[in-house]
Amino acid sequence: MADDDPQPTADEPGPTEWQFGSAPAVGVGPWAAEHDGPPPDDPRYDAHLLAAGDTRNVVDAYRYWTREAIVADIDSRRHPLHVAIENFAHDANIGTVVRTANAFAVAAVHIVGRRRWNRRGAMVTDRYQHLEHHDTVADLIAWAREKNLKVVAVDNTPGAQPLETAELPRECVLLFGQEGPGVSADAQEQADLTVSIAQFGSTRSINAGVAAGIAMHAWIRQHADLGQAW
């Protein structure tokens, strides 16, 4: 029944857009209070935000922009990297994965299994990040094959290549399992490559959301143009 839990809509305020009592305001105030001269007439700017201020969790370059304009700008320079996470047990890490994927301008996040997920951890970044759904791992693999994308499973399993020394394909899907069991057997069998994250302590595995961030950053270090970073 968790799959039928109500989800917040795109227009509802998210955690980083709430203002609490006397706490310092986040973002910027109305354009007239922040700048000299009339507000810009550039269509990328949102008339309401110009008049009321912009308290969203966005970089300064996107202040006062409409959501559509921000997405379009990111789309113009998204990376050929996709991220997928299995969600057969309603994994709570998906929000973290989405938030990190947004930070790295990932092409899309693919959720395999349940459609419903807890969006709170995404901190509103799902509004700027493309999301796709696949019912099964087989559906995801078929989609990746059609798009000529290599599938890279990230899991600490025998035979996995160390992420720290592996050459990640530029055009690929990084696939993560849900918290606990890790990448499913079906996913491991169909992946083109499996990589593991080096660990040195007592724990058997790394949190799925953290592992996703480590792996995405490994791809960024190998393939991204750092001159385009904020």
Q: What is the pLDDT of residue 139?
A: 98
Longest CA–CA span in the chain (Å) reads 63
Find residue 161's DSSP bridge partners: 195
Residue 181 has pLDDT above 90, yes or no: no
Model confidence over 92-130: pLDDT tens digits? 899 999 999 999 999 999 999 999 998 989 999 999 999
Average pLDDT over residues 7-28: 54
What is the rounded distance in angstroms from the CA atom of residue 225 to the CA atom of residue 222?
9
Find residue 40's DSSP bridge partners: none
Sheet holding 106-113, edge to edge: 131-134, 106-113, 79-87, 172-176, 150-154, 193-196, 161-162
Q: What is the pLDDT of residue 20?
A: 45
Count the Cβ atoms, other than its own, within 10 Å of residue 73: 14
What is the rounded distance in angstroms from the CA atom of residue 54 to the CA atom of residue 44?
14
Q: What is the pLDDT of residue 228?
A: 94
Contact 200, 58 (CB under 8 A): no
DSSP one-letter code for 105: T
Model confidence over 193-226: pLDDT tens digits? 999 999 999 988 889 999 999 999 999 999 999 9
Apex CA 136: angle with CA 71 and CA 151, to 5°?
65
What is the value of pTM for the model shown? 0.88
Does CATH place domain 77-228 in 3.40.1280.10?
yes
Residue 10 has pLDDT above 80, yes or no: no
Query: Would you give the distance in Å from CA 159 to the centre of its chain?
Result: 28
17 versus 145: the higher-pLDDT residue is 145
Tell me the three state secondary structure of residue 22. coil
Where are the chain's structural domains? 31-69, 77-228
Work out the mean pLDDT of the chain and round it to a whole number.
90
Apex CA 127: angle with CA 52 and CA 208, to 5°?
130
Give the confidence band of 77 by pLDDT, cuts at 50, 70, 90. very high
Helices (H), the chain: 31-34, 47-52, 67-75, 94-103, 137-146, 185-190, 208-223
Q: What is the pLDDT of residue 89?
A: 83
